């Protein structure tokens, strides 16, 4: 009888394999469904506005520096290449909104050219970033 009792104690352990399988499946699910934001890559001094609101669903950010440099996806691009870069980003992750982060000292002509390239790439919702007062 003592032998039977010992074998029952050895088999009483909990099998962790099914729980680990479920945890790994959930991890894969969350990684696949996560949205990735394409940041501009630089910080700019945005103008202040009393009516500024937070943009919730933008995934593509374009930064325009005071010297006219345009940054997308953490690299500097030429104004003529903005549309092509947006089309590439849209192929990776579709979105309907682009946020332009223009510096306070940026020339509005450059910002308008960037907005035109964004429109030509098929994005209708363009937001210009500002700081709250």
Range of the domain at 16: 2-33
> How many distinct helices (H) and strands (E) make up the chain?
4, 7
Same domain, residue pair 29 and 78: no
Same domain, residue pair 23 and 61: no
CA distance 124 to 127: 10
Same domain, residue pair 86 and 22: no
Structure tokens at 124: 């209708």
Same domain, residue pair 64 and 110: yes
pLDDT tens digits for range 71-128: 988 889 999 999 999 898 888 888 888 889 888 888 889 999 999 999 998 888 888 8
What's the domain count of the chain? Answer: 2
Within-domain flag for 55: yes
Within-domain flag for 42: no
CB 100 within 8 A of CB 65: no
Q: How many residues does the chain have?
A: 133
């Amino acid at each position: 009888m003592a032998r039977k009792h010992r074998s029952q104690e050895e088999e009483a352990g909990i099998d962790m394999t099914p729980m680990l399988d479920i945890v790994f499946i959930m991890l894969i699910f969350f990684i696949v469904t996560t949205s990735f934001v394409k940041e501009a890559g630089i910080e700019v001094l945005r103008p202040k506005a009393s009516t500024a609101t937070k943009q919730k669903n933008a995934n593509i950010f374009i930064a325009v520096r005071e010297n006219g440099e345009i940054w997308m996806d953490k690299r500097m691009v030429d104004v003529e290449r903005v549309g092509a870069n947006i089309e590439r980003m849209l192929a990776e992750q579709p979105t309907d909104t682009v946020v332009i982060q223009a510096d306070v000292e940026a020339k509005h002509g450059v910002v308008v050219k960037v907005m035109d390239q964004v429109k030509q790439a098929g994005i209708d919702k363009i937001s210009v970033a500002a700081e709250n007062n």
